[in-house]
Structure 1
Amino acid sequence: MYWLDQLHQVLVVGNYGRGTIKSYMAEMRLLFHYHHELNVEQITQQHIMDYMLFIKTVHQVGRDKCRAVAQSCSFFFRHVIKKEFIVPSKIYPRKEFRLPNVMTQDEVKQLFERCSDVRGLAVISLLYGCGLRCGEVQQLKLSDIERKNNRILIRQGKGNKDRYAQLPYHVLKHLEDYYRAYRPNLFLFESKQLLGKPLHQRSIQTIVNTTMTNAGFVSGKFTAHTLRHSYATHLLDLGCDIHSIKTLLGHSKIETTMIYLHLQQSKRDVTSFIFNRRAE
């Protein structure tokens, strides 16, 4: 379709990240398909509202999905079709405050102790030991592992930004065990079906889910992103400052990182101690 091609060109020329391009293209494709009887130029605010009502009521999607639709539409009408039309703020769903799910340090210990698969250990080590996103693990190349400097280069992470992540010794050890067993050539986790391509992100998630289940956790309770949340929260518990954690996680705004302050165990312990002292 012409307008999807135009959208793709604008995103690529604008040097937007892989995730943004994939998301905007998918959301606009679905919107156009839903209003297939209309030319793209005929789509109005009301048509967008009708589509969002449909996906919320029929498919029971959450706030993140609705916001992705709103952002995609806003970008498309502002930068691609350049129509005298701005997606109004009321289309954006109200922000929900939800604390991320995290594992306790004992649960993390149980996860590692019960995992005997070298690939599974390598994946969960990168997610928890380095705080990487699932997509960042998927895109890692062997050349990104800097053993001498004890760090990993994260290329074009979220927001299309490069950064370095720390490489603790125990993570390096699991990566070395994995390398000896699998001998990857280019990407750290390579697809068997598509030579020279990384393992699909869903396959990475499946490895994590299988590892969690084998460790005795209820299916679906903890995910790949839970390990990243746990990494940040446990760093706070150990006394790491919030600005250093922001840098390690690759957050662009400190407000994003500060949500982990609500999960900090030491703060909860102090609060409980003060309350118990007063109750005595």
Structure 2
Amino acid sequence: MKWESKLIKHKGAFRIGIIFEKNTELIARIKTVDGSRWSQSIGVWHIPDTEENRIRFKIPLHHQTVPSEEGIASIEKFKQWLLSKRYSSSTIKTYSEALKSFLIYYREKPITEITNEDVIVYNNDYILKNNLSASYQNQIVNAIKLFFQTIRNTKMVVNKIHRPKRAKLLPNVLSKEEVKAILNAHSNIKHKMMLSLIYSCGLRCGELRVLKPVHIDSKRNIVLLKNSKGQKDRIVPLSPFILEMLRDYFKIYKPKTYLFEGQNPGELYSEK
């Protein structure tokens, strides 16, 4: 009988979720655990998050999932340093989570004692052993490099931390017919307009969501993208055909604040 367990947050509390195909014998066994409950909303059995239950259901113990006190304080200082350098909130979150993973691995070792050899061991014994991607490994390396630039009296030689070799893969490119089929499959005018603009202008989803009508320059046939990736503005060309589509869309939806708004006027379109 295959089953898996994982930490979940249910009604504001952390619980251990037990996921499996319906099995009366396993259900009977779970019911013997104190505090076991069935959740109709998320469709899983869940039990209290205790040390005993973590051991029983093969979940890492709490102290194995957090850095040392020194590590926690250092991560917080690192966040403040990134913030002062005006890194975006998403980059701060990515780097701090990556650093947290590394410092959990070396939670028993003082940060000033961590060396380049420790980075290699971490890559081999954690990243590679768990089949984590090269892009994730690269995030870890970026976080470690930045972090140890802020640490004094460290044994880490930052410029000698190596990056993973990138795989050189050919991109999967859709044919013109496939692109047309995707765009024409939508009867919803707003959705079709959003996809057309993304494809024709090479926009990221985040860039599309924050577009405002004033960012469309119909005289010069360009789209102005404000605070794009890396907090940089950029300009992309706008084809006359897409411009005409935008005019038709505007007449129907009459957006107030954002070009593509949510269910309520002036509301940012949902990321989902």
Query: Normalised by the size of structure 1, how large is the TM-score?
Result: 0.59
Following the alignment from structure 2 to structure 1, what is the Cα–Cα distance between the partners of residues 250 and 107? 49
Distance 1:9 1:147, change over 3 A: farther
Task: Give the superposition deviation at 1:69.
Answer: 1.2
Displacement of 1:105 after TM fit? 1.4
1:155 touches 1:162 (CA, 8 Å); kept in 2?
A: yes
Identity of matched residues, %: 29
In structure 2, the CA distance between the partners of 1:48 and 1:118, relative to structure 1 (3 Å rule), is: farther
Could you tell me which residue of structure 2 aligns to residue 232 of structure 1?
none
When Rg is computed on C-alpha atoms for both structures, the one with the higher figure is 2
Distance between the aligned counterparts of 2:105 and 2:256, measured in 1?
A: 43
Residue 62 (1) aligns with residue 125 (2): no
Residue 123 in structure 1 maps to residue 194 in structure 2 = yes
**Residue in 2 aligned with 1:187?**
258
Return 24-33 or 160-169, whichever deviates more: 24-33
Instruction: State which of 160, 163, 172 in structure 1 corresponds to 2:234.
Output: 163
8 Å contact kept, 1:121–1:174? no
2:14 counterpart residue number: none
1:98 matched to which residue of 2?
Answer: 169
Matched, 1:16 2:87: yes
TM-score, L = length of structure 2: 0.60
Query: How far 1:91 sits from its partner (Å)?
Result: 3.5
Of residues 131, 139, 145, the one that matches 1:74 is 145
Aligned residues: 198
Rounded to whole Å, the distance in 2 between the matches of 1:32 and 1:176 is: 53
The one of the two structures with greater contact order (alpha-carbon pairs below 8 A, sep at least 6) is 1
Query: Aligned residue for 1:221?
Result: none
Q: Is the 1:130–1:167 contact (alpha carbons within 8 Å) kept by the matching residues of 2?
A: yes
The secondary structure found in structure 1 opposite 2:181 is: helix
Question: Is the contact between residue 70 and residue 87 of structure 1 (CA under 8 Å) also seen in structure 2?
Answer: no
Distance 2:96 2:254 in 1: 35
Question: Would the alpha carbon gap of residues 91 and 147 (structure 1) be closer, same or farther in structure 2, given more than 3 Å must change?
Answer: same
Partners of 1:165 and 1:151 in 2: how far apart?
A: 6
**Rounded Cα–Cα distance in structure 2 between residues aligned with 1:124 and 1:94:** 34
Seen in structure 2, the aligned counterparts of structure 1 residues 45 and 75 have a Cα distance that, compared at 3 Å, is: same
User: For structure 2, which runs of at least 5 residues remain unmatched after alignment?
Assistant: 1-71
What does residue 206 of structure 2 align with?
A: 135
Q: Structure 1 residues 128, 93: closer, same or farther in 2, change over 3 A?
A: same
What is the CA-CA distance between 1:180 and the residue it aligns to?
Answer: 5.3
| Paired residue secondary structure (1:103) | coil
Alignment partners' CA distance in 1, 2:75 and 2:260: 31
Once the 2 structures are TM-superposed, how far is the Cα of residue 127 of structure 1 from its aligned partner? 1.9
* Letter aligned with residue 128 of structure 2: K
Whether 1:114 aligns to 2:180 is no
Name whichever structure is richer in strand by fraction.
2
